[in-house]
Amino acid sequence: MPLEEIRRFDPIGLIFTGGPGSVYEPAAPQIDPAVFSLGVPVLGICYGCQLMMQTLGGQVIPAQSDSAREYGKSPTVFDQNCSLFRGLPEESITWMSHSDYVAAVPQGFHSAAHTAVCPTAAVCDEGRSLYGVQFHPEVNHTEQGAQILHNYLYDICHASGDWTMADFRAKAVASIREKVGDGRVLLALSGGVDSSVAAALLNEAVGSRLTCVFVDHGLLRKNEGDEVEAAFSGRALRFVRIDAEGRFLARLAGVTEPEEKRRIIGEEFIRVFESVGKEIGFVDYLAQGTIYPDVIESGLGEAAVIKSHHNVGGLPDFVDFREILEPLRMLFKDEVRALGRELGLPEAFVARQPFPGPGLAIRVVGEVTREKLDILREADAIFREEISRAGLTQQCSQYFAALTNMRSVGVMGDGRSYDYAVALRSVQTSDFMTADWSRLPWELLDRVSVRIVNEVRGINRVFYDITSKPPATVEYE
Active site residues: 46, 136, 138
Helices (H) and strands (E) in the chain, counts: 13, 18
CB of 42 to ligand XMP, least distance (A): 30
Q: What string of DSSP letters covers 62-90?
A: E-SSGGGSEEEEEEEEE-TTSGGGTT--S
CB of 194 to ligand XMP, least distance (A): 7
Nearer of residues 53 and 396 to ligand XMP, judged by Cβ: 396
Nearer of residues 327 and 354 to ligand XMP, judged by Cβ: 354
Query: Dihedral, CA atoms, 137, 28, 61, 140, nearest 10 degrees?
Result: 10
Say if residues 412 and 424 touch (Cβ distance below 8 Å): no
Binding site for ligand XMP (CB under 6 A): 294, 297, 307, 309-311, 354, 356-358, 398, 432, 469, 473-475
**381 vs 360: CA distance, rounded Å:** 12
**249 vs 247: CA distance, rounded Å:** 6
Strands 110-114 vs 122-125: parallel, antiparallel or unpaired: antiparallel
CB of 293 to ligand XMP, least distance (A): 6
CB of 308 to ligand XMP, least distance (A): 7
**287: which strand partners?**
187, 325
Helix (H, G, I), strand (E, B) or coil at 134: coil
Nearer of residues 49 and 296 to ligand XMP, judged by Cβ: 296
CB of 474 to ligand XMP, least distance (A): 3
CB of 311 to ligand XMP, least distance (A): 6
Nearer of residues 237 and 362 to ligand XMP, judged by Cβ: 362
**232 vs 278: CA distance, rounded Å:** 22
CB of 333 to ligand XMP, least distance (A): 8
State the DSSP H helix or E strand holding residue 277, giving kind and residue range, or none if neither: helix 258-279
Nearer of residues 106 and 289 to ligand XMP, judged by Cβ: 289
Q: How far is CA 294 from the centre of its chain?
A: 5
Name the residue among 47, 58, 28 with its Cα closest to residue 125.
Answer: 58
State the DSSP H helix or E strand holding residue 437, giving kind and residue range, or none if neither: strand 436-437
**101 vs 58: CA distance, rounded Å:** 11
Nearer of residues 137 and 359 to ligand XMP, judged by Cβ: 359
**466 vs 424: CA distance, rounded Å:** 9
**286 vs 161: CA distance, rounded Å:** 33
**Pure H helices in 309-437:** 333-342, 347-350, 370-389
Nearer of residues 137 and 258 to ligand XMP, judged by Cβ: 258
**50 vs 122: CA distance, rounded Å:** 10
